Amino acid sequence: MWEQLRENLQILLIALCLALFIRTFVAEPRYIPSDSMLPTLQVGDRLVVEKISYRFRAPHPGDIVVFDPPQKLQIQGYAKDQAFIKRVIGTPGHVVKVQNGKVYVDDSPLQEDYIAEPPEYQWGPALVPEDQVLVMGDNRNNSNDSHVWGFLPQENIIGRAFFRFWPLSRISCT
Residue of 20, 42, 17, 18 whose CA lies nearest to 31: 42
Q: Do the Cβ atoms of 104 and 97 come closer than 8 Å? A: yes
* Helix (H/G/I), strand (E/B), else coil: 129: coil
Residue 80 falls in the annotated catalytic set? no
Among 36, 51, 143, 146, the active-site one is: 36
Among 34, 51, 53, 86, the active-site one is: 86
Residue 86 falls in the annotated catalytic set? yes
Contacts of 115 (CB under 8 A, 6+ apart): 138, 139, 140
Point out the residues that are catalytic.
36, 86
